[in-house]
């Protein structure tokens, strides 16, 4: 286990006749020894380029990468002490699944009995014990992905890189395997970076998540922090499914009350004490605001927002209620069974502590409830 530090890493793709692409911009990241970090973002955000630079498949245009105190960005991939699970699995076709997983162990000249035991353990954890003797071409995509993951995890390395490691997994297995993999990584104190576009996966596995967009780091924090205190509108709406509800609001302060006018007669009113003096003072200076409310914080109950029900979808363990608020769709999540018929009028409420306030011109967060951003 070792600490990974990326310092001012830049990546520019240049090719003749085409415009150069600045894929990663002055990226700083520190992954503590034994920590699991997710690089999260949509396609083209620079997360895969960053991973490939750490692995050594791409050159660093400028900046440094150190692992365990050792500079690795100039070393060949095999010399970096890094184990990687590829998005395209990249299993060796002429070897069986078991031989694939054992490959690096054999190369490291581990005694056969020890290697076999490790392979069996990881196969049991990933539910692929019954296909160890088969060839990659004869097993399903989900099984290949688990094999690729097993091949990376079974090695002892300073750093583990997982590129979209669970996207193809059968839905029924996903929850259990996530738990087992998280437990395994913690138990073996593996410093891990996983790259994904799926915020559900990032939230499930990572200790901290680095949200990337357009080659730049947007926010680097724990899943709980990202949910409770997103640094900007992008992070706020990217994290969370269903996504955060966004409203444009005009704030005003009068006689000890803070008002957020959402338009169409919907006005959120709170006592100044619910929002703290510092936040109120800041709001007073803003002509316009963007308010974000997470679905589970928006309640169908006696409240100031008037809405018409568009749909009420019960999904077994939660209900998603979509409501039309002055032309916009707002989503509320309830954990019990709710029965509302489409077309009925309801009111929605939200407490001050659950409000996320953003600056409309920059997208930066201003306040979360009564806390300053």
Partner 1 sequence: MSQLALKSLSKSYGAFKVFDGLNLDAGSGEIVVIFGGSGTGKTILLRLIAGVEEPTAGTIELDGHDVSDIAPEHRNVGMAFQNFALFPHMSAAENIATPLKAQGKSADAVRAGIDRVAKLLKIDHVLGHAPRELSNGQKQRTALARALAAEPRILLLDDPLRNVDAKLRFEMRLELPRLLRQSGATVLYVTQDYKEAMALADRIAVLADGKFVQVATPEDIYLKPATLGVARLFGDPAINTAKTVIEMKNGMASAKVGGRDIPLPASLAAAAGRGITFGVRPEAVNILSPGSDGLTASVVAVTPLNERTVLLLQSPDGWEFLASLPASSTSIPEPETDVVVDFDPSGTHFFDSQSDERLHG
The minimum distance between CB 252 and partner 1, in angstroms, equals 30
| E strand map for 170-282 | 192-196, 208-213, 216-221, 245-254, 257-263, 266-271
Nearest to partner 1 of 120, 296 (CB atom): 296
Sign of the alpha-carbon torsion through 5, 87, 170, 158? negative
Does position 205 bind partner 1 by CB under 8 A?
yes
CA angle 241/246/250 to nearest 5° reads: 160
| 113 contact partners, CB below 8 Å, separation of at least 6 | none
Stretch that binds partner 1, among 19-27, 94-102, 145-153, 170-178 (CB under 8 A): 170-178
For residue 272, what is the DSSP state? H
Taken in order 206, 207, 212, 218, is the CA torsion positive or negative? Answer: positive
User: Which residue lies nearer to partner 1 by CB, 175 or 372?
Assistant: 175
Dist CA 64 CA 133 (whole Å): 42
Q: What span, in angstroms and rounded, lies between the C-alpha atoms of 158 and 283?
A: 48
* CA–CA dist 324, 180 (Å, integer): 41
Question: According to the binding rule CB under 8 A, does residue 171 interact with partner 1?
Answer: yes
By CB under 8 A, tell whether 339 contacts partner 1: no
Nearer to partner 1, 149 or 205 (CB): 205
Told to check if 165 binds partner 1 by CB under 8 A, we report: no
Give the binding range for partner 1 (CB under 8 A) out of 1-9, 59-67, 212-220, 241-249.
241-249
User: How many binding residues for partner 1 (CB under 8 A)?
Assistant: 39
Quick one: which segment of 92-100, 113-121, 166-174, 273-281 binds partner 1 (CB under 8 A)? 166-174
5 in contact with partner 1 (CB under 8 A): no
Instruction: Report the interface residues with partner 1, using CB under 8 A.
Output: 171-172, 174-176, 178-180, 182-183, 186, 198, 200, 203-205, 223-224, 240-243, 295-296, 310-311, 313-318, 320, 322, 329, 331, 333, 335, 342
């Amino acid at each position: 286990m070792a600490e990974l530090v990326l310092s001012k890493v830049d990546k520019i793709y240049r090719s003749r006749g085409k415009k150069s692409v600045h894929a990663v911009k002055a990226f700083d990241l520190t992954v503590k020894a034994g920590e699991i970090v997710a690089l999260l973002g949509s396609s083209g955000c620079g997360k895969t380029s960053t991973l490939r630079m750490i692995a050594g498949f791409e050159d660093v245009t400028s900046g440094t990468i150190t692992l365990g105190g050792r500079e690795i960005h100039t070393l060949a991939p095999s010399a970096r002490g890094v184990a990687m699970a590829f998005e395209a699995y990249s299993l060796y076709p002429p070897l069986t699944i078991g031989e694939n997983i054992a490959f690096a162990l054999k190369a490291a000249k581990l005694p056969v009995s020890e290697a076999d035991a490790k392979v069996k353990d990881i196969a049991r954890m990933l539910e692929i014990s019954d296909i160890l003797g088969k060839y990659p071409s004869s097993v399903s995509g989900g099984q290949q992905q688990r094999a690729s993951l097993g091949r990376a995890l079974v090695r002892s390395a300073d750093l583990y890189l997982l590129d979209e490691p669970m996207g193809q997994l059968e839905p029924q297995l996903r929850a259990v395997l996530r738990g087992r993999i998280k437990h395994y990584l913690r138990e073996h104190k593996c410093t891990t970076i996983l790259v994904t576009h799926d915020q559900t996966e990032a939230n499930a596995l990572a200790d901290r998540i680095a949200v990337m967009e357009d080659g730049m780091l947007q926010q680097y924090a724990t899943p709980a922090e990202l949910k409770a205190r997103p640094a900007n509108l992008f992070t706020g709406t990217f994290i969370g499914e269903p996504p955060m509800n966004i409203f444009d609001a005009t704030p005003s302060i009068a006689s000890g009350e803070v008002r957020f006018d959402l338009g169409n007669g919907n006005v959120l009113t709170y006592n100044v004490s619910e929002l703290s003096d510092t936040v109120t003072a800041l709001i007073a200076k803003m002509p316009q605001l963007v308010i974000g409310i997470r679905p589970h914080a928006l309640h169908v109950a006696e409240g100031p927002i008037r809405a018409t029900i568009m749909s009420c979808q019960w999904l077994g363990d939660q209900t998603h209620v979509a409501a039309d608020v002055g032309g916009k769709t707002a989503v509320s999540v309830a954990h019990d069974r709710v029965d509302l018929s489409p077309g009925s009028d309801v009111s929605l409420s939200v407490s001050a502590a659950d409000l996320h306030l953003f600056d409309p011109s920059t997208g930066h967060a201003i306040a979360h409830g009564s806390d300053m951003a």
